[in-house]
Chain A
């Protein structure tokens, strides 16, 4: 059976269209509004939604997502809470959901328990920021057994041998970090994106989504000239923070996602 992620990337490829992967932090600014935001992101047309699990020590994240994690943790969000959000979301949406998390909450819950609960909640893929392929097997095996797609990251520093390995062990797609550094918005795309994607394509067949520093429709379109999809995280999280207390928060979010897709 094709996974939701596989189906989505297959359809994008057939249609010759690039996709938008939208990242939001679970529980930002609180559980109730977060559920509304997820719904709004889907209605805006996101092809895939990444749901960030807030963690006390997000060492791969820049200030925008750090603050979102702090807000979500202060509002009581947890890994279990994030799974509950996805479960609710799944009642009314088919958009694939990738959980974006640090290792420790998953290790603490227990990988087997996590895999079965995540599958039951309707999660499609899992990306663990501080679990490179060398360490991944204890988490990857139960995920694959449960039918979840383990998603690995590729960075400009990743060697070709490790690109192959991530391509073999990963499912769904590969997440490409377009530049060195932590998550966050930038004014322009990395200039060496094309050769980076070409290098990945030469060693792996999985679809490729590019993230880190993508914040405008033209970045999304540019990235999708080489990649299958573009990931927007911090820019969307910033937009949510800006309008968190507005009565039309969900309208704003839907409009923002539509805008991000407007140049595709």
Chain B
């Protein structure tokens, strides 16, 4: 199965309602327009789609399973909980779906050098992987703080032949890595391709990344109809930039009976600098090429963020999420560090699956809403990644919490 290309485009200027657009420095206007033309052409080219579909199947390992988590369902009480197992995709997260699509596009555009940013390291690893596959040079920008908490992924990228560039600016996390990647891009536009990892940035990135990720929802829809004969009552996915959520929501946006629920990182709670829940504490702003909900202070400077999960630790949210939020089609909740940590352990104990800390936010929220749902309904959770990368930092966090209590 391949993604659903071209069925829900933004307007010609890349807007989803009041959100999106193309707020880039002048030097990037022409390269971004060139990228849009190349993508619009590629996505309708049968040869491009065929190669992408073949690699999704034989390299990424798609379709990923849809798994009914019976013990979790029983302990949470309520609906049948199904997990879309993106953790079983090659490299351990959904990020590879997008990285592969864009790397094929980079090669088609004749770009031999790929730059990327990464937060948790999963997008960096996915990008390094596809660059190895397609013989492209790869440089990944990563905040120093994230390099520390995701040191295993740093080494994985290096093993795959990528250069990891440390970013010491700001909070030294994802936002700062994106700034640095854009500075590289603006300097090397002629030969470099910027492989952005989420539904963020200037048009066409939010569209392109969502379309490459939409394979998740297309598969899940078909798998769920086959398994249960019905659509889910609710879908839950974590939202950093929001690519795994857009990927699974996309196939259900036109089904008004399906509740779409995005889960943001509540960190230590909703006060400035201590969380990354844009819909809870943010307002309209322009950051890194797009107009969306942003965590900012009264003067328009971007606030620091915190989450135990590096992949959700970001001050803005994808513009299409902002539009789904304001139009009421999707709803957004948040889960704090402690509940995410609890869900991380719970899925291991009850299902033998260690989820990524990002995905643990979705699991936690699913367990929170399950008791209120009918027992014959279906709750679909996007298990966007596996937790191997997080084992060390979870161990540290648990030790700290034990110490705090003792």
A residues near B, CB below 8 A? 55-60, 62, 66, 73, 78-80, 103-109, 129-132, 134-135, 152-159, 162, 177, 180-182
With A103-B286, A132-B29 as contacts: A182 and B302 at CB distance below 8 Å: no
Q: Which of A104, A153, A159, A180 contacts B287 (CB 8 A)?
A: A104
With A56-B170, A157-B27 as contacts: A134 and B299 at CB distance below 8 Å: no
| Residues in B whose Cβ lies below 8 Å from that of A162 | 29
**Bound-state Cα–Cα, A73 to B182, Å:** 22
Whether A107 and B286, one on each chain, are in contact in the complex, defined by CB atoms closer than 8 angstroms, is: yes
| Residues in A whose Cβ lies below 8 Å from that of B26 | 132, 152-155, 157-158, 177
**Bound-state Cα–Cα, A132 to B289, Å:** 11
With A103-B286, A157-B29 as contacts: A57 and B300 at CB distance below 8 Å: no
Closest to A162 in B: B29
Is B397 in contact with chain A by the CB < 8 A criterion?
A: no
* Most central of A109, A132, A154, A156 by chain B CB within 10 Å: A132
Q: How many A-B residue pairs have CB under 8 A?
A: 111
Whether B187 and A182, one on each chain, are in contact in the complex, defined by CB atoms closer than 8 angstroms, is: yes
With A59-B288, A157-B31 as contacts: A129 and B25 at CB distance below 8 Å: yes
| Residues in A whose Cβ lies below 8 Å from that of B30 | 157-159
**Bound-state Cα–Cα, A56 to B189, Å:** 24
| Residues in B whose Cβ lies below 8 Å from that of A104 | 285-287, 294, 296, 300-302
Whether B25 and A59, one on each chain, are in contact in the complex, defined by CB atoms closer than 8 angstroms, is: yes
Q: Which of A107, A108, A180 contacts B187 (CB 8 A)?
A: A180
Whether A109 and B27, one on each chain, are in contact in the complex, defined by CB atoms closer than 8 angstroms, is: no
Is B375 in contact with chain A by the CB < 8 A criterion?
A: no
Whether A80 and B300, one on each chain, are in contact in the complex, defined by CB atoms closer than 8 angstroms, is: no
| Residues in A whose Cβ lies below 8 Å from that of B299 | 78-80, 105, 108-109
Would you call the interface of chain B mostly helix, strand, loop, or mixed?
A: mixed
With A132-B29, A158-B29, A159-B30 as contacts: A56 and B301 at CB distance below 8 Å: yes
User: How far does the Cβ of A252 sit from chain B's closest Cβ, in whole Å?
Assistant: 28
Contact indicator per residue, chain B 298-320, by CB within 8 Å of chain A (1) or not (0): 11111000000000000000000
**Bound-state Cα–Cα, A28 to B395, Å:** 43
| Residues in A whose Cβ lies below 8 Å from that of B22 | 132, 134-135
Closest to B28 in A: A157
Whether B23 and A130, one on each chain, are in contact in the complex, defined by CB atoms closer than 8 angstroms, is: yes
**Bound-state Cα–Cα, A107 to B18, Å:** 13
With A57-B175, A135-B21 as contacts: A180 and B294 at CB distance below 8 Å: no
Is B394 in contact with chain A by the CB < 8 A criterion?
A: no
**Bound-state Cα–Cα, A167 to B332, Å:** 43
* Most central of B24, B27, B302 by chain A CB within 10 Å: B27
| Residues in B whose Cβ lies below 8 Å from that of A78 | 299, 301
Interface size class of B (residues with CB under 8 A): 35 or more
With A59-B179, A130-B24 as contacts: A108 and B189 at CB distance below 8 Å: no
Q: List 27 A-B contacts (CB under 8 A).
A: A57-B179, A57-B288, A73-B301, A104-B285, A104-B286, A104-B287, A104-B301, A106-B300, A132-B22, A132-B24, A132-B25, A135-B22, A154-B26, A155-B25, A155-B27, A157-B26, A157-B27, A157-B28, A157-B29, A158-B29, A158-B30, A159-B30, A162-B29, A180-B186, A180-B187, A182-B186, A182-B187
| Residues in B whose Cβ lies below 8 Å from that of A154 | 26
Whether B286 and A56, one on each chain, are in contact in the complex, defined by CB atoms closer than 8 angstroms, is: no
Whether B23 and A135, one on each chain, are in contact in the complex, defined by CB atoms closer than 8 angstroms, is: yes
| Residues in B whose Cβ lies below 8 Å from that of A129 | 25
| Residues in B whose Cβ lies below 8 Å from that of A108 | 283, 285, 296, 298-300
User: How far does the Cβ of B49 sit from chain A's closest Cβ, in whole Å?
Assistant: 30
**Bound-state Cα–Cα, A156 to B190, Å:** 11
**Bound-state Cα–Cα, A196 to B283, Å:** 40
Contact indicator per residue, chain B 260-293, by CB within 8 Å of chain A (1) or not (0): 0000000000000000000000011111110100
**Bound-state Cα–Cα, A162 to B29, Å:** 10
Whether B170 and A57, one on each chain, are in contact in the complex, defined by CB atoms closer than 8 angstroms, is: yes
User: How far does the Cβ of B205 sit from chain A's closest Cβ, in whole Å?
Assistant: 15
Whether B31 and A55, one on each chain, are in contact in the complex, defined by CB atoms closer than 8 angstroms, is: no
Within 8 A of A (CB), among B168-219: 169-170, 175, 178-179, 182-183, 186-190
Is B368 in contact with chain A by the CB < 8 A criterion?
A: no
Within 8 A of A (CB), among B25-75: 25-31
**Bound-state Cα–Cα, A134 to B26, Å:** 11
| Residues in B whose Cβ lies below 8 Å from that of A105 | 299-301
**Bound-state Cα–Cα, A182 to B179, Å:** 11
Q: Which of B24, B189, B296, B298 contacts A180 (CB 8 A)?
A: B189
Q: Which of B13, B178, B289, B300 contacts A107 (CB 8 A)?
A: B300
**Bound-state Cα–Cα, A51 to B218, Å:** 51
**Bound-state Cα–Cα, A130 to B201, Å:** 12
**Bound-state Cα–Cα, A105 to B294, Å:** 12
Whether B183 and A107, one on each chain, are in contact in the complex, defined by CB atoms closer than 8 angstroms, is: no
User: How far does the Cβ of B308 sit from chain A's closest Cβ, in whole Å?
Assistant: 23
| Residues in A whose Cβ lies below 8 Å from that of B289 | 130
**Bound-state Cα–Cα, A104 to B23, Å:** 10
| Residues in A whose Cβ lies below 8 Å from that of B284 | 107
Closest to A106 in B: B300
Whether A130 and B301, one on each chain, are in contact in the complex, defined by CB atoms closer than 8 angstroms, is: no
Q: Which of B13, B28, B169, B298 contacts A134 (CB 8 A)?
A: B13
Closest to A212 in B: B27
**Bound-state Cα–Cα, A253 to B234, Å:** 63
User: How far does the Cβ of B287 sit from chain A's closest Cβ, in whole Å?
Assistant: 6
Q: Which of A66, A106, A180 contacts B27 (CB 8 A)?
A: A180
| Residues in A whose Cβ lies below 8 Å from that of B175 | 57
With A56-B302, A108-B299 as contacts: A181 and B186 at CB distance below 8 Å: yes
**Bound-state Cα–Cα, A106 to B286, Å:** 10
| Residues in B whose Cβ lies below 8 Å from that of A159 | 30
